[in-house]
Amino acid sequence: LVGDIHGQFFDVLEMLRISGAPPLVNYLFLGDYVDRGAHSVECICLLFLYKILYPHRVHLIRGNHEARTVTSAYGFRDEVGTKYGTEGGAVYRCISDAFDFLPLAATIDNAIFAVHGGLSPQAHVIDQIMAIPRFEEPPHDCTFGDLLWSDPSPTGARGFDLNGRGVGVTFGSAIVQKFMYMNNMRHMVRAHQMCVRGYQTQFNDLLSTVWSAPNYMGRFNNAACVLEVDDGLNRVYNIFRQGAKEYLTQPELESVMTRLPRAGEAPTLYGGMVSDYPLESQDTDPSLSLSSDGEEDALGIGAGVSILRNGKE
Protein backbone atom coordinates (compact mmCIF):
# COMPACT_ATOMS: atom_id res chain seq x y z
CA LEU A 1 0.00 0.00 0.00
CA VAL A 2 1.32 3.42 -1.01
CA GLY A 3 0.38 6.74 0.59
CA ASP A 4 0.61 10.27 -0.81
CA ILE A 5 3.23 10.77 -3.54
CA HIS A 6 2.36 14.36 -4.59
CA GLY A 7 4.19 14.59 -7.88
CA GLN A 8 7.54 13.32 -6.55
CA PHE A 9 8.17 11.19 -9.62
CA PHE A 10 11.77 10.21 -8.99
CA ASP A 11 10.90 9.12 -5.48
CA VAL A 12 8.19 6.91 -6.99
CA LEU A 13 10.87 5.35 -9.20
CA GLU A 14 13.04 4.82 -6.12
CA MET A 15 10.10 3.17 -4.37
CA LEU A 16 9.54 0.83 -7.32
CA ARG A 17 13.25 0.04 -7.43
CA ILE A 18 13.22 -0.96 -3.77
CA SER A 19 9.82 -2.65 -3.49
CA GLY A 20 9.55 -4.06 -7.00
CA ALA A 21 7.49 -2.92 -9.96
CA PRO A 22 4.23 -4.36 -11.30
CA PRO A 23 3.36 -7.05 -12.22
CA LEU A 24 5.67 -8.71 -9.71
CA VAL A 25 4.07 -6.78 -6.85
CA ASN A 26 0.39 -6.06 -6.27
CA TYR A 27 -0.04 -2.33 -5.47
CA LEU A 28 -2.83 -0.32 -3.87
CA PHE A 29 -2.25 3.45 -4.11
CA LEU A 30 -4.21 5.52 -1.59
CA GLY A 31 -4.56 8.81 -3.49
CA ASP A 32 -2.95 12.25 -3.70
CA TYR A 33 -0.90 11.53 -6.78
CA VAL A 34 -0.59 15.14 -7.93
CA ASP A 35 0.01 18.73 -6.68
CA ARG A 36 2.93 20.34 -4.87
CA GLY A 37 5.63 18.20 -6.50
CA ALA A 38 7.14 19.26 -9.83
CA HIS A 39 6.35 16.05 -11.72
CA SER A 40 2.67 15.40 -11.14
CA VAL A 41 2.07 14.79 -14.84
CA GLU A 42 4.73 12.09 -14.92
CA CYS A 43 3.37 10.48 -11.75
CA ILE A 44 -0.21 10.21 -12.88
CA CYS A 45 0.74 9.09 -16.40
CA LEU A 46 2.95 6.34 -14.95
CA LEU A 47 0.20 5.12 -12.61
CA PHE A 48 -2.46 5.21 -15.33
CA LEU A 49 -0.09 3.31 -17.64
CA TYR A 50 0.50 0.65 -15.00
CA LYS A 51 -3.25 0.39 -14.43
CA ILE A 52 -3.84 -0.15 -18.15
CA LEU A 53 -1.05 -2.71 -18.48
CA TYR A 54 -1.75 -4.61 -15.26
CA PRO A 55 -5.35 -3.90 -14.22
CA HIS A 56 -5.39 -6.76 -11.71
CA ARG A 57 -2.07 -5.77 -10.12
CA VAL A 58 -2.38 -1.99 -9.75
CA HIS A 59 -5.26 -0.39 -7.85
CA LEU A 60 -5.90 3.34 -7.46
CA ILE A 61 -8.35 5.04 -5.11
CA ARG A 62 -9.15 8.73 -4.83
CA GLY A 63 -7.51 11.25 -2.54
CA ASN A 64 -8.59 14.78 -1.70
CA HIS A 65 -6.17 16.17 -4.32
CA GLU A 66 -7.91 14.27 -7.11
CA ALA A 67 -10.39 17.13 -7.39
CA ARG A 68 -10.60 20.13 -9.71
CA THR A 69 -10.96 22.66 -6.90
CA VAL A 70 -7.75 21.40 -5.28
CA THR A 71 -5.62 20.82 -8.39
CA SER A 72 -6.51 24.32 -9.57
CA ALA A 73 -5.05 25.78 -6.38
CA TYR A 74 -2.04 23.57 -5.60
CA GLY A 75 -0.12 23.33 -8.83
CA PHE A 76 -1.31 20.49 -11.03
CA ARG A 77 -3.40 22.56 -13.44
CA ASP A 78 -0.54 25.06 -13.86
CA GLU A 79 1.96 22.24 -14.42
CA VAL A 80 -0.21 20.71 -17.14
CA GLY A 81 -0.52 24.11 -18.82
CA THR A 82 3.24 24.65 -18.73
CA LYS A 83 4.06 21.21 -20.13
CA TYR A 84 1.32 20.96 -22.77
CA GLY A 85 0.89 24.58 -23.84
CA THR A 86 -2.21 25.21 -25.91
CA GLU A 87 -3.33 21.61 -25.38
CA GLY A 88 -3.02 21.94 -21.61
CA GLY A 89 -6.68 22.70 -21.00
CA ALA A 90 -7.83 19.59 -22.84
CA VAL A 91 -5.25 17.38 -21.09
CA TYR A 92 -6.23 18.76 -17.69
CA ARG A 93 -9.92 18.12 -18.36
CA CYS A 94 -9.24 14.54 -19.45
CA ILE A 95 -7.21 13.74 -16.35
CA SER A 96 -9.74 15.44 -14.07
CA ASP A 97 -12.53 13.43 -15.68
CA ALA A 98 -10.52 10.26 -15.06
CA PHE A 99 -10.22 11.19 -11.38
CA ASP A 100 -14.02 11.13 -11.16
CA PHE A 101 -13.93 7.39 -11.87
CA LEU A 102 -11.53 6.50 -9.06
CA PRO A 103 -13.10 4.42 -6.26
CA LEU A 104 -13.26 5.93 -2.78
CA ALA A 105 -12.08 2.92 -0.76
CA ALA A 106 -10.91 -0.67 -0.95
CA THR A 107 -10.69 -3.77 1.21
CA ILE A 108 -7.92 -6.34 1.38
CA ASP A 109 -9.03 -9.94 1.85
CA ASN A 110 -12.18 -8.69 3.60
CA ALA A 111 -10.01 -7.83 6.59
CA ILE A 112 -8.26 -4.48 5.97
CA PHE A 113 -10.17 -1.32 5.10
CA ALA A 114 -8.22 1.22 3.02
CA VAL A 115 -9.19 4.84 2.35
CA HIS A 116 -7.36 8.09 1.73
CA GLY A 117 -8.57 10.23 4.63
CA GLY A 118 -10.80 8.60 7.19
CA LEU A 119 -14.24 7.71 8.46
CA SER A 120 -17.53 9.59 8.42
CA PRO A 121 -20.34 9.94 10.97
CA GLN A 122 -22.73 9.25 8.10
CA ALA A 123 -21.28 5.88 7.06
CA HIS A 124 -21.11 3.07 9.61
CA VAL A 125 -20.97 0.11 7.22
CA ILE A 126 -19.24 -0.46 3.90
CA ASP A 127 -22.55 -0.80 2.06
CA GLN A 128 -23.19 2.88 2.80
CA ILE A 129 -19.87 3.79 1.19
CA MET A 130 -20.66 1.67 -1.85
CA ALA A 131 -23.94 3.56 -2.29
CA ILE A 132 -22.19 6.93 -2.76
CA PRO A 133 -22.43 8.28 -6.34
CA ARG A 134 -18.73 8.94 -6.93
CA PHE A 135 -18.71 10.21 -10.52
CA GLU A 136 -18.50 13.90 -9.70
CA GLU A 137 -16.37 16.61 -8.16
CA PRO A 138 -16.05 15.67 -4.47
CA PRO A 139 -18.49 17.59 -2.27
CA HIS A 140 -17.22 18.52 1.18
CA ASP A 141 -20.07 18.34 3.69
CA CYS A 142 -21.02 14.69 3.30
CA THR A 143 -19.65 11.16 3.49
CA PHE A 144 -17.84 11.56 0.15
CA GLY A 145 -15.79 14.47 1.48
CA ASP A 146 -15.23 12.87 4.87
CA LEU A 147 -13.62 9.80 3.29
CA LEU A 148 -11.11 12.03 1.50
CA TRP A 149 -10.42 14.67 4.17
CA SER A 150 -10.89 13.25 7.68
CA ASP A 151 -8.08 12.65 10.19
CA PRO A 152 -7.58 10.67 13.41
CA SER A 153 -8.24 12.78 16.47
CA PRO A 154 -5.12 14.73 17.53
CA THR A 155 -6.49 15.19 21.06
CA GLY A 156 -7.21 11.60 22.02
CA ALA A 157 -10.97 12.09 21.73
CA ARG A 158 -12.84 8.82 21.19
CA GLY A 159 -15.66 10.09 18.98
CA PHE A 160 -16.14 12.44 16.04
CA ASP A 161 -15.22 16.11 16.21
CA LEU A 162 -14.64 19.14 14.00
CA ASN A 163 -11.55 19.07 11.81
CA GLY A 164 -9.11 21.99 11.91
CA ARG A 165 -8.78 21.74 8.13
CA GLY A 166 -12.28 23.17 7.85
CA VAL A 167 -13.45 20.10 5.92
CA GLY A 168 -13.96 16.51 6.97
CA VAL A 169 -14.02 15.44 10.62
CA THR A 170 -11.69 13.93 13.18
CA PHE A 171 -12.40 10.45 14.50
CA GLY A 172 -11.24 8.68 17.63
CA SER A 173 -10.42 5.17 18.75
CA ALA A 174 -14.01 4.24 19.61
CA ILE A 175 -15.12 5.14 16.09
CA VAL A 176 -12.47 2.93 14.52
CA GLN A 177 -13.28 0.06 16.89
CA LYS A 178 -16.98 0.28 16.06
CA PHE A 179 -16.35 0.45 12.30
CA MET A 180 -14.01 -2.55 12.47
CA TYR A 181 -16.57 -4.53 14.48
CA MET A 182 -19.58 -3.67 12.31
CA ASN A 183 -17.72 -4.54 9.10
CA ASN A 184 -15.79 -7.55 10.40
CA MET A 185 -12.46 -5.85 9.64
CA ARG A 186 -9.15 -6.27 11.45
CA HIS A 187 -7.26 -3.12 10.47
CA MET A 188 -7.63 0.24 8.73
CA VAL A 189 -5.02 1.91 6.51
CA ARG A 190 -5.08 5.54 5.38
CA ALA A 191 -2.74 8.23 4.01
CA HIS A 192 -3.40 12.01 3.94
CA GLN A 193 -1.00 13.14 6.71
CA MET A 194 2.78 13.42 6.58
CA CYS A 195 4.60 11.17 9.06
CA VAL A 196 8.20 12.01 9.94
CA ARG A 197 9.22 8.34 9.96
CA GLY A 198 6.97 7.45 7.01
CA TYR A 199 4.16 5.83 8.95
CA GLN A 200 2.28 5.92 12.24
CA THR A 201 0.11 3.38 14.04
CA GLN A 202 -2.65 4.42 16.44
CA PHE A 203 -5.56 3.15 18.49
CA ASN A 204 -3.92 -0.03 19.77
CA ASP A 205 -2.66 -0.94 16.31
CA LEU A 206 -6.09 -0.74 14.67
CA LEU A 207 -5.08 2.16 12.40
CA SER A 208 -2.05 2.80 10.18
CA THR A 209 -1.20 6.06 8.40
CA VAL A 210 1.19 5.62 5.47
CA TRP A 211 3.10 8.46 3.79
CA SER A 212 5.14 7.81 0.64
CA ALA A 213 6.64 11.20 -0.32
CA PRO A 214 10.13 11.45 1.27
CA ASN A 215 11.55 14.89 2.10
CA TYR A 216 8.12 16.29 1.32
CA MET A 217 8.26 19.47 -0.77
CA GLY A 218 12.03 19.45 -0.24
CA ARG A 219 11.59 20.85 3.26
CA PHE A 220 10.67 18.27 5.88
CA ASN A 221 13.46 15.67 5.73
CA ASN A 222 10.86 13.00 6.47
CA ALA A 223 11.13 9.34 5.58
CA ALA A 224 8.59 7.56 3.38
CA CYS A 225 6.93 4.18 3.70
CA VAL A 226 5.32 1.44 1.66
CA LEU A 227 3.18 -0.91 3.71
CA GLU A 228 3.60 -4.54 2.67
CA VAL A 229 0.76 -6.94 3.48
CA ASP A 230 1.35 -10.62 2.82
CA ASP A 231 -1.24 -13.30 2.18
CA GLY A 232 -1.42 -13.95 5.92
CA LEU A 233 -2.28 -10.26 6.49
CA ASN A 234 1.01 -9.66 8.29
CA ARG A 235 2.18 -6.05 7.95
CA VAL A 236 5.71 -4.83 7.25
CA TYR A 237 6.42 -1.09 7.10
CA ASN A 238 9.17 -0.64 4.50
CA ILE A 239 10.94 2.69 4.98
CA PHE A 240 12.80 4.51 2.22
CA ARG A 241 14.48 7.87 1.80
CA GLN A 242 14.56 10.34 -1.07
CA GLY A 243 16.01 8.99 -4.31
CA ALA A 244 19.49 10.24 -5.09
CA LYS A 245 18.71 11.18 -8.70
CA GLU A 246 16.27 13.60 -10.24
CA TYR A 247 16.66 12.50 -13.84
CA LEU A 248 17.05 9.37 -15.97
CA THR A 249 19.88 8.95 -18.44
CA GLN A 250 18.94 7.80 -21.93
CA PRO A 251 20.19 4.21 -21.33
CA GLU A 252 18.20 4.04 -18.08
CA LEU A 253 15.08 5.34 -19.81
CA GLU A 254 15.49 2.80 -22.61
CA SER A 255 15.93 0.06 -20.00
CA VAL A 256 12.63 1.02 -18.38
CA MET A 257 10.80 1.18 -21.71
CA THR A 258 12.03 -2.22 -22.91
CA ARG A 259 10.43 -3.83 -19.85
CA LEU A 260 6.98 -2.54 -20.82
CA PRO A 261 4.76 -4.64 -23.12
CA ARG A 262 4.31 -3.37 -26.66
CA ALA A 263 0.94 -2.01 -27.70
CA GLY A 264 -1.49 -4.91 -28.00
CA GLU A 265 0.82 -7.35 -26.25
CA ALA A 266 -0.73 -9.14 -23.29
CA PRO A 267 1.28 -8.61 -20.10
CA THR A 268 2.54 -11.66 -18.25
CA LEU A 269 0.88 -12.10 -14.86
CA TYR A 270 2.27 -14.17 -12.03
CA GLY A 271 0.31 -16.33 -9.60
CA GLY A 272 -3.34 -17.19 -9.28
CA MET A 273 -6.38 -15.49 -7.85
CA VAL A 274 -6.50 -14.97 -4.10
CA SER A 275 -10.15 -13.93 -3.98
CA ASP A 276 -12.99 -15.17 -6.15
CA TYR A 277 -15.37 -12.22 -6.41
CA PRO A 278 -17.15 -11.86 -9.75
CA LEU A 279 -15.70 -9.37 -12.18
CA GLU A 280 -17.72 -6.20 -12.56
CA SER A 281 -18.53 -6.93 -16.22
CA GLN A 282 -20.37 -10.06 -15.11
CA ASP A 283 -22.51 -8.35 -12.49
CA THR A 284 -26.11 -7.45 -13.15
CA ASP A 285 -25.87 -4.41 -10.87
CA PRO A 286 -22.42 -2.79 -11.13
CA SER A 287 -23.31 -0.20 -8.51
CA LEU A 288 -23.20 -2.84 -5.77
CA SER A 289 -20.44 -5.14 -6.97
CA LEU A 290 -17.25 -6.01 -5.14
CA SER A 291 -14.72 -6.69 -7.85
CA SER A 292 -11.61 -8.72 -7.11
CA ASP A 293 -8.65 -7.02 -8.74
CA GLY A 294 -6.20 -8.92 -6.54
CA GLU A 295 -3.93 -11.74 -7.54
CA GLU A 296 -1.21 -13.40 -5.52
CA ASP A 297 2.15 -12.25 -6.81
CA ALA A 298 5.15 -14.42 -7.51
CA LEU A 299 7.04 -13.17 -4.47
CA GLY A 300 4.20 -13.81 -2.03
CA ILE A 301 3.79 -10.06 -1.50
CA GLY A 302 0.30 -8.64 -1.49
CA ALA A 303 -3.06 -10.01 -0.46
CA GLY A 304 -6.18 -9.84 -2.60
CA VAL A 305 -7.50 -6.30 -3.11
CA SER A 306 -11.22 -5.67 -3.51
CA ILE A 307 -12.17 -2.23 -4.79
CA LEU A 308 -15.46 -0.84 -3.51
CA ARG A 309 -17.35 -0.12 -6.73
CA ASN A 310 -19.62 2.62 -5.47
CA GLY A 311 -21.92 4.71 -7.62
CA LYS A 312 -23.62 4.09 -10.94
CA GLU A 313 -21.29 3.52 -13.90
Q: Does residue 313 lie within any of the structural domains?
A: no
> Model's pTM, two decimal places?
0.82
The pLDDT tens digits of the residues spanning 263-273 come to 444 333 322 22
φ/ψ region of 56 (left if φ > 0, alpha if ψ in -120 to 50, else beta) reads: alpha
Q: Does residue 226 lie within any of the structural domains?
A: yes
CA–CA separation, 16 and 19 (whole Å)? 5
Q: Does residue 131 lie within any of the structural domains?
A: yes
Grade residue 150 by pLDDT with cuts at 50, 70 and 90.
very high
**What pLDDT score was predicted for residue 61?**
98
Of 6, 56, 59, 65, the catalytic one is 65
**Domain containing residue 166:** 9-308
Grade residue 249 by pLDDT with cuts at 50, 70 and 90.
low
| Mean pLDDT taken over the chain | 84
Q: Does residue 97 lie within any of the structural domains?
A: yes
Q: Which CATH number covers residue 181? A: 3.60.21.10
Grade residue 182 by pLDDT with cuts at 50, 70 and 90.
very high
Q: Does residue 271 lie within any of the structural domains?
A: yes
User: End-to-end distance of the chain based on CA atoms, in angstroms?
Assistant: 26
Q: Does residue 4 lie within any of the structural domains?
A: no
pLDDT of residue 302 exceeding 60, the answer is no
Number of Cβ within a 10 Å radius of residue 82: 10
Q: Does residue 67 lie within any of the structural domains?
A: yes
Phi, psi of 308 (to 5 degrees): -80, 105
Q: Does residue 3 lie within any of the structural domains?
A: no
Count of domains for the chain:
1
Is-catalytic flag, 65?
A: yes
